[in-house]
Structure 1
Amino acid sequence: MKPSTPSTVCVLFHVFFGSLSAVTICGNLLVIISITYFKQLHTPTNSLILSLAVADLLVGLVVFPFNMEFSVSSCVFSEELSCKVRDSFDVTLCTASILNLCCISIDRYYAVCHPLTYRTKINVHVVVIMIVVSWSVSLLVAIGLVMAGLDQAKCQENCFIDLQLANILGLLCSFYLPVILMLSIYLKIFLVAQKQVRSIQGTKSGATASKMERKATKTLATVMGVFLMCWSPFFLCTSFQLLTHMPVPVAVIESLSWLALSNSMLNPFIYAFFYSWFRSAFRMIISRKIFQGDFSDSKLH
């Protein structure tokens, strides 16, 4: 039961996670405005980043408030309709965010490993297909899990196996398969980058080549490290509970859920703030310079 008057802990809880929601919304909104406004950023790669930013923006706008409300009302595992709505938004948007990250890794693979054929392999048509598939799969996973839950509520034991199967498929599509794909791709990118560095060591100083190699390592480690840090605990806990049927404290699940959602707040920093042209775009937007004239053709550097 929710207390009639909010306690100090609840107030602090809402202030803290409300701040995270605001940062998530603002960060992803900056990315969306930058890509849609500045013509220099109208590229297939940035279309994928735009799709990711939309998913993460909706996480901050929809999922964060739902989680703030239900984390203090013990909604987890409830059969109420409002909780089903929360779960469907949660699964759809978080899966879309993860699958968009997966699409970005595929784009980076062709850019680094096949630079000569990159523009023909990753064009606007291919990017649109990738985005549509990512969002479609996310919707199907969410619908499948919600429908399996509703059926299980009606027929109880007879639908238990169907629900287990739906949960397993959901975990595979939402996390494990994308993670395996991303780890494989980024490992390949890292190996190719190392090979490229070694091939130019004869024309550049060893210190410069070593610096490039460290930068490539740091970038890839940051991308995958932050993603795995945020999402792995939640999905491993969920998998453990699903396979062993052992109850996990609600507080633990909610804490891990918030850690996972924080990835949507960090994505703009990882995939946008690392690039100088995005930083230039952000400065122009924050300073409101774009409202003083038409700067859509500005050269960002």
Structure 2
Amino acid sequence: MENLTVQYCFPDNNSSCRKEVRTGPAYIFLVIFFSCVSACTVFLNLLVIISISHFKQLHTPTNLLILSLAVADLLVGLIVMPVKTMELIDSCWYLGKVACIISEIITGLLMFASLCSLVFIAVDRYIAVNDPLLYSSRITVCKMSVCIVLGWSFSLFYNVIYFYFNDHLLPSQIYIRCYGECVVFLKHSWLVIDLVIFFLVPCSVIMVLYSIIFNVARRQAKAVRAVMNIVSQKVTSTSETKAAKSLGIVIFVYLACWIPYYVSSLSVEITSLTSLSVVWTVFTWLMFINSFVNPLIYAIFYPWFRQSAKYILTCRIVESSSSTFDLYREH
């Protein structure tokens, strides 16, 4: 499956790691595929960011959450994915210990910030469905901005603490077997903690809230059917079906992207974040691919995004009055 040409990362250093240039068909396919995913992730999330930032009609609390999610996912596609792709091609790390740990902290920060945004979106939708009359007074742009800042701050704090207790925060604490290696070993106890904080709790919150949202939507649909004619019943039934599919996609994609990594990470006592296994690489990239899928779920399904994307791609946003365009009028 692979053809390994053994070289050295730093030929002039006696303690240099061996350099593995992976040229097998499986690695070539993965590199091409991951490069395309990275480019698409940046492009889609950039469209979301430009849309929400430029058009005044989209300056709402909910869209602020989508903007925060898009920023985190954009940085995943712009920073994390290219670095991980290069690691897949070349096993050597040329930037030193400090850059190694900073790279891992940035990766954890962006992934956790993206996850926090997903949770906040679920909470926002729950409040909007259960208390629609008071939603505008309870959820404001200012309050949502504070929540976003707190989410990013907690993500950074958690990652610093996480690496500190794994003895990787300081360059002198980082254990390397040879010069030119960036391998972060995690204690099994902290893998369990990470599983709870980074997966089980957010997963439970998202699933419970979306289940409640769907049940409330079903009750509302039944109430409408009770007073509407048979034609309206068919329309309501269709809307209910679309809502069910949307929520099902959200939950399925979230679980599909995160479960494989955590199940595999708990199978060993001490785990390396940069394992050379093809299977491990695929499981890790599934989490990154979630950043590619997020704009598809949370933005492309919205008519306003399709309309704003059309304005952006046709360069109509350069018009002086483009920020005040009505993105909902045609829908």
Range class of TM-score, shorter chain: 0.7 to 0.9
Question: For residue 208 of structure 2, what is the aligned residue in structure 1?
Answer: 184
Question: For residue 160 of structure 2, what is the aligned residue in structure 1?
Answer: 143
TM (norm. structure 1) is 0.88
Question: For residue 173 of structure 1, what is the aligned residue in structure 2?
Answer: 197
- CA distance in structure 1 between the partners assigned to 2:31 and 2:279 by the alignment: 18
- CA distance in structure 2 between the partners assigned to 1:119 and 1:75 by the alignment: 52
- CA distance in structure 2 between the partners assigned to 1:169 and 1:246 by the alignment: 14
The Cα of 1:268 is off from its aligned counterpart by: 0.8
Query: Matched residues, percent identical?
Result: 35
| Bigger Cα Rg | 2
Aligned pairs for 1:112-261 (under 5 A) are: 112-150=129-167, 154=173, 163-204=187-228, 205=230, 206-241=233-268, 250-261=277-288
Q: Contact 1:92–1:139 (CA<8 Å) still a contact in 2?
A: yes
- CA distance in structure 1 between the partners assigned to 2:75 and 2:29 by the alignment: 23
- Matched to 1:264, the amino acid is S
Aligned length: 292
The Cα of 1:74 is off from its aligned counterpart by: 4.3
- CA distance in structure 2 between the partners assigned to 1:131 and 1:75 by the alignment: 36
Out of 289, 294, 300, the position equivalent to 2:321 is 294
The Cα of 1:294 is off from its aligned counterpart by: 2.7
Q: Contact 2:195–2:262 (CA<8 Å) still a contact in 1?
A: yes
Q: Contact 1:55–1:97 (CA<8 Å) still a contact in 2?
A: yes
Q: Contact 1:141–1:170 (CA<8 Å) still a contact in 2?
A: no
The Cα of 1:73 is off from its aligned counterpart by: 3.7
- Greater share of strand: 2
The Cα of 1:82 is off from its aligned counterpart by: 4.2
Question: For residue 182 of structure 2, what is the aligned residue in structure 1?
Answer: none
The Cα of 1:241 is off from its aligned counterpart by: 3.2
Aligned-partner SS, 2:301: coil
Question: For residue 278 of structure 1, what is the aligned residue in structure 2?
Answer: 305
- Greater share of helix: 1
- CA distance in structure 1 between the partners assigned to 2:174 and 2:36 by the alignment: 42
Are the structure 2 counterparts of residues 93 and 212 from structure 1 closer, same or farther at C-alpha, using a change threshold of 3 Å?
A: same
The Cα of 1:15 is off from its aligned counterpart by: 2.7
Q: Deviations over 1:81-120 (max 9, x none)?
A: 4442332121110111011000000000011111011112
The Cα of 1:164 is off from its aligned counterpart by: 4.0
4+ residue segments displaced more than 6 Å: 246-249
- Matched to 1:125, the amino acid is C
Aligned-partner SS, 1:2: strand
Aligned-partner SS, 1:180: helix
- CA distance in structure 2 between the partners assigned to 1:15 and 1:86 by the alignment: 22
Aligned pairs for 1:14-33 (under 5 A) are: 14-33=31-50
- Matched to 1:59, the amino acid is V
Are the structure 2 counterparts of residues 136 and 155 from structure 1 closer, same or farther at C-alpha, using a change threshold of 3 Å?
A: closer
The Cα of 1:272 is off from its aligned counterpart by: 0.6
- CA distance in structure 1 between the partners assigned to 2:174 and 2:86 by the alignment: 30
Out of 69, 72, 87, the position equivalent to 1:52 is 69
Aligned-partner SS, 2:323: coil
Gaps of 5+ in 1: 157-161
Q: Contact 2:66–2:298 (CA<8 Å) still a contact in 1?
A: yes
Are the structure 2 counterparts of residues 233 and 8 from structure 1 closer, same or farther at C-alpha, using a change threshold of 3 Å?
A: closer
Question: For residue 80 of structure 2, what is the aligned residue in structure 1?
Answer: 63
Question: For residue 159 of structure 1, what is the aligned residue in structure 2?
Answer: none
TM (norm. structure 2) is 0.80
- CA distance in structure 2 between the partners assigned to 1:241 and 1:75 by the alignment: 24
Gaps of 5+ in 2: 1-17, 176-185
Are the structure 2 counterparts of residues 47 and 246 from structure 1 closer, same or farther at C-alpha, using a change threshold of 3 Å?
A: closer
Are the structure 2 counterparts of residues 239 and 116 from structure 1 closer, same or farther at C-alpha, using a change threshold of 3 Å?
A: farther
Q: Contact 2:55–2:323 (CA<8 Å) still a contact in 1?
A: yes
The Cα of 1:67 is off from its aligned counterpart by: 0.7
Q: Deviations over 1:17-43 (max 9, x none)?
A: 111111000100000000010000000
- Matched to 1:233, the amino acid is P
The Cα of 1:58 is off from its aligned counterpart by: 0.3
- CA distance in structure 2 between the partners assigned to 1:246 and 1:59 by the alignment: 22
The Cα of 1:163 is off from its aligned counterpart by: 4.1
